[in-house]
Copies of this chain bind each other. A is one copy, B any other.
Amino acid sequence: MTKMHKENILSKNQQIIFNLINKSSEPLKAYTILFNVQKKGIKAPPQVYRALDKLVEIGKIHKIESKNAFVACKNSNCEISKATVFSICENCEIIDEVSDVKLSKYLSKFNDKNGMKFKRFNLEFFGLCKKCK
């Protein structure tokens, strides 16, 4: 018996916005998204932000905090949606989701000196990509 996954059925707005982000080759900002979905009837910021919040919550997308931009999760059925690692080129701003099991495990196990146990982390690496080097 294979393990069952509860389907995450997206609502109309969530689906529209996820599709846009998912097919984009670069992170999208909220107002870029808004502009691009107005023809589909999504006219106001709260509609976009609500969908984004939900999509982040269920791990379909991630927010690149240093850019205020959103990317689709590339780890399908992502088990590390609350443990994200990105590489960001400081020149061309290309962004990749790093999926390195060792690194993720290392960070997931990390405890600080105050005995604080972490549930979630976000790591953003900056450098120059192959092209820009």
Q: Report A108-123 CB contacts with B as 1/0, cut-off 8 Å.
A: 0010111111111111
A93 close to chain B: CB less than 8 A: no
A122 x B121 contact (CB < 8 A): no
A127 x B120 contact (CB < 8 A): yes
Interface residue tally on A, bucketed by range: 20 to 34
Contact pick for A114, options B96, B115, B116, B124, CB 8 Å: B96
A124 x B121 contact (CB < 8 A): yes
- Given the interface contacts A65-B66, A66-B65, does A119 sit within 8 Å of B127 by beta carbon? yes
A130 close to chain B: CB less than 8 A: yes
Q: Report A54-89 CB contacts with B as 1/0, cut-off 8 Å.
A: 000000000001100000000000000000000101
- Given the interface contacts A65-B66, A116-B87, A116-B130, does A110 sit within 8 Å of B122 by beta carbon? no
Q: Report A32-73 CB contacts with B as 1/0, cut-off 8 Å.
A: 000000000000000000000000000000000110000000
Task: Tell me the A residues contacting B by CB distance below 8 Å.
Answer: 65-66, 87, 89-90, 96, 98, 100, 103, 106-107, 110, 112-130
